Structure 1
Amino acid sequence: MKYSRKEFITRSAGALLAPIAIGAGGWINAAPVAGIPRNAAERNAYTRMLLDQLCTAIGPRATGSEHYAAGAAIIHGEFKKSLPVVDYDDYAFDRWELIGRAGMEVGKQEIETDLAFGSRGTPENGLSGILSRQDSGFIVVHPENKELLANISVNKYGRSIPVDRSTDPTLPPLFGVGYRDVPLLEEAVQSGSPVRLHAQVRFSSDGKGINVIGRLPGKQPDEILFLAHADTMYTTPGAIDNTASVIVMMMLAHEAAKRGNHKHTLTFAATDGEEYGLLGAKHYAKVRSATDTMKNIRYVINFDSLAWGPNLWVNSLNDEIKMIIRSIHSDLGLKSYPRFESNDGFSMDSAPFRPSEARAAHINSRGYDAQTLPRYHRADDLPQHVPLDCTEQAFRVFDEFIQRVDRL
């Protein structure tokens, strides 16, 4: 029997815990679960339920879209199950939309391509030029005066994907291609074969961004802020990037609320617009500055794609954060190997919170690269491809992290 998206969400949210079948390598098939999960099996079922609601039933949730708003409502409802303070943080922005699909032809051969999110489009009848090599990508120039007409980026992980061009839509159009098509493009550079590109876009002033902010007040205002972006690129339902991370954050909220009596205030922010210039995080940072609460933030932890693999990729300049995460892995006997980078933890969605001068970490993951990374920003970043051993492990690490920081 087929259900509408609304019926699917309603039925899934009301289902009871059912038996779970775990396959090889930690991949899991689970029936939906209602309420707040109490153990690892229920957390896996809860994760699968919400992946199905947000990714299967709704699909891509680009910022400003009705689909994103529907997803934000689900996240808000889940936070309300355990947190005493849950709010929407709304903002306005200029919305971008692709009309139809982007196209590229090299000589007489059609090449798979995606237009960058926020990029300027082409004239209605497209544009034509010749290819030239530039850095790690290509450019399309006018055959006579060599005027730059378009840029082409190459996805090192697999087939074509869109990237973010929200920083300056006045720049020439930016098209994405996959690395499998690089030899053909190289040949076109040498032969001077013509390149034809077309993509129609629309900008409108009616964009509405929606952050969902949940808080668990502590005994003091000193705060641990968790961030995970809830929007997806327009091409993908974003199961790994970044829905699974949002669900991990929600489970941390549930578990913390169940314990209670925290010294630190805990804030959980499901942000909008990360794929479009960090719009949501920037707006929420402005709110915190305007309310003079930015100074309360002691730790900023940004989750971005926690399920590419079991090995957490910790980008931070803070030795304390690295030491805590390293000791948690050792003490819990986890069979994974966190990767520590001496990069600034104020990156991506955590970047707007630099004025807090908090200890910061940007958390990604690696380990199942051959299986997972080719799905980045693509339509097959689907719930069935999320390895739930990764989400469970991330939950365990950062649930323990909250408790250890609280004891400092």
Structure 2
Amino acid sequence: MDIYIAGLLIVILIAILASGLWIGLSLLGVAVVAMEVFTPKSGGDSMVLTIWGSTSSWTLTALPLFLWMGEILFRSKLTSDMFKGLAPWLNNIPGRLLHTNVIGCGIFAAVSGSSAATCATIGKITLPELKKRGYPDNISMGSLAGAGTFGLLIPPSIIMIVYGVAADVSISKLFVAGVIPGVGLMLLFTIYIMVWSLLNKDKIPAADMQMSFVDKLKSSRHLIPIVALICVVIGAIYSGIATATESAAMGVLGSLILSKIEGSLTWKTFKDGLFAACRVYCMIGLILAGAAFLTLAMGFIGLPREVAQFIGSLNLSPFMLIVMLMVFFIILGCFLDGISMVVLTMAVLLPTVQAAQFDLIWFGIFVVLVVEMAQITPPVGFNLFVLQGLTKRELPYLAKTALPFFLLLTFAVLMIYWFPQIVLIGPQMMG
């Protein structure tokens, strides 16, 4: 029965999305149907309380602040200066400035801990500049969709904290365990971009004029303002001086000061940046509200718990268990956000995982990786929604551009299964 309910809800969701209705309202619509038809609960009161709870979190305040920081930088000369500073160093690497998506998302992930904030902020900076310089849309958007997921894996990560509490494991060890896979994933994406560029040389703009090493160093002065701002924001978080939200506010203040110093801050750019950040956040906030209510509806139906119990009853081999869990979480990602997936399934899955003798720290990183995969899986890949808001392109097109990076994430999951020390060496060194 539960499988039929799941299938019906997927059909309803795809039909509503295909109608052109806003994504957040589509999720809310499916949640209302699920609550009213398949549960004895009244949808009205639950919807109000859930939407208020999901959108009034203090932690969530960091997201619009980081978006505003990106809008301020986007409207200043600092972003083009950043490309001027990076271009000489990337000139001789296949793919050239396409690597800025991976580099930028990797750095920003260590600041925000949010996939949506990473994708939206870096996309606002890089996509217009790459388009202006003649780089193809498909690889630009696909690499951003994939690299945006770094916000979940590279510490600090909210989903790791939730898993650490649910599984009763050390959160600091989880953070350390995520570092090597995070850097490895950055290298994997970089290698793919290089290979793609070598196979599609005609689609990559010509290199800028060659420079001597001394000239490259001189050109790097353009990076100093952006790098200094990022170091302040990251340093404030890791030193414990400020929370992520407070650091985001520092980032906004710093970006305002820098844009004022270089002369691009006017009342018009200030107002336009603020309005643009509000529009993008309202889009993301509505999706978050819809996802939160759909999560509640799925919890009342008991669907995630039922499926998790079914997987546990199959008595699979360790490898087949991992494959089944990967498929399970990707499908579950069509309905729920990553944190909700962890909260609703861990209590049921952990006994099965422990019986298969998987290390719980390792399993935490596995869960983060498969949740990353769900972020770029249609019809409800959160990073795809963010990209759609930025680019106004259709979801099928964005999903197609992100497919190679989805496959690379699948490869990363298999690599940590075959070589678990990639994940465990850091926590083991901690003792």
* TM-score, length-scaled by structure 2: 0.29
Q: Which has the higher contact order (CA 8 A, sep 6+)?
A: 2
Q: Which structure dedicates a bigger proportion of its chain to strand? A: 1
Q: Higher helix fraction: Structure 1 or Structure 2?
A: 2
TM-score by length of 1: 0.31
